[in-house]
Amino acid sequence: MPCPCPAVPSHVVALAGWCPLSTAGAQTTQLLVEPPWTPAVLWDRVTLTCQGSGTAGATSWYKGGWLWWQKGTERFVVNESGTYTCGRPGSGLSPPVRVLNERLVLQLPARALLEGDTVTLRCRGWQDGTVTGVRFYRGDKDLGGPLCGTELSLSSLQLHHSGRYRCGGWVSSGPSPCWEKSAPVTVTVTVHVPVANVTITPSPPALQVRPDDPVTLRCSVQVGSAPVTFTWLHDGQEVARSPLLELGAVDVGHSGTYQCVATNQLGQDRHRVFRALSPELALEVTPQGTTRHHWITEAAGVVGCLLFLVLLMGIIVAFHWWIHMDARKHQERALSVEDPQATYIELRGPHGQPWEPSDIYDNLQHKL
């Protein structure tokens, strides 16, 4: 049965510049804990490291939801229990990390738990003191446990393993042990998603390049649980393993088809492996002379098309001009026939020759 136990000693830390913790911003900053167990325990000499974009010297540390250390270093050794968070300008706040200093603590590895993994939960007494008669609980259900051990192994994790776990046991304290129960920890199994929809993005985007052009290919997946590995194939042969394939200054030998194979696995023992293959990407490295000849051929084709269009436009304009002139001639002929006031008289002289204006004048003078 429970018995009174002495309080656990705690360290005292002077906290300066306290203000409420702001939760604004995306959580892109990560807070790493060493040793990698959660919750961490103070007697393990815990080191916290803040990772994110921005300057390391601009790291802000929060404890218990309040600003604790502004413009601090990115790494420090914890000497006080509590809940810690870090932040970097422009990258938001990290998820919190708990550091406990209690008589009994249940820990699990500080990593993502995927379907098929095996995870070990360990029940530890303060300062690694002796713990006996350990039992494990999930919610209110007593899972039993190894009465002579302190660890619970969950193998081939499935979604139904998720939940809140605790441990209980007899902790040595003075002349007689005390029965203690740990704070609950949450076990979360994330569903494992096989890789799918693999694509290759070339840079530059043109698939016809000249010798010595720098070419980089990037492989990505639309879905797939981490970690994902990438393997590159050139004409069916493996050439590299990386998300990026940097070909550098290419030559004719780089021509051919490229594919990317994305892979992830289910569980730490890799008892199921998933692969997805990208569509083929054809890269052509065109020699300089061939490129110039190809350019000249294309230019000649363009010039020929332009000349044909000019000739066609000239024919169309000439045809319209001919139609217009023919219509005008028909109009003039019609006016000369239909106008009754138009009379043409040809004057003839005494010998049948046409009169000239000077002859008419001389004849009139003679008669007068």
Question: Is residue 317 predicted with pLDDT exceeding 70?
Answer: yes
Model pTM score = 0.54
Q: Which has the minimum average pLDDT: 192-201, 229-238, 283-292, 307-316?
A: 283-292
Confidence at residue 106, expressed as pLDDT on a 0 to 100 scale = 95
Confidence at residue 105, expressed as pLDDT on a 0 to 100 scale = 95
Confidence at residue 344, expressed as pLDDT on a 0 to 100 scale = 43
Confidence at residue 3, expressed as pLDDT on a 0 to 100 scale = 52
Q: Which has the minimum average pLDDT: 32-41, 233-242, 324-333?
A: 324-333
Confidence at residue 125, expressed as pLDDT on a 0 to 100 scale = 93
- The DSSP bridge partners found for residue 63 are 66, 84
Considering only CA atoms, which of 136, 141, 147 is closest in space to residue 104? 136
- The DSSP bridge partners found for residue 170 are 132, 179
Q: Hey, how many other C-beta atoms are within 10 angstroms of the C-beta on 116?
A: 19
Q: Hey, how many other C-beta atoms are within 10 angstroms of the C-beta on 252?
A: 11
The pLDDT-based confidence of 297 (bands split at 50, 70, 90) is low
The pLDDT-based confidence of 149 (bands split at 50, 70, 90) is confident
Averaged pLDDT, 350-366: 54
Q: Give residues with Cβ within 8 angstroms of 1, minimum separation 6.
A: 179
Residue 351 CA neighbour count, 13 Å, CB half: 3
Q: Which has the minimum average pLDDT: 81-95, 105-119, 236-250, 302-316?
A: 302-316
Confidence at residue 270, expressed as pLDDT on a 0 to 100 scale = 59
Question: Is residue 24 predicted with pLDDT exceeding 80?
Answer: no
What is the overall mean pLDDT for the chain?
79
The pLDDT-based confidence of 115 (bands split at 50, 70, 90) is confident
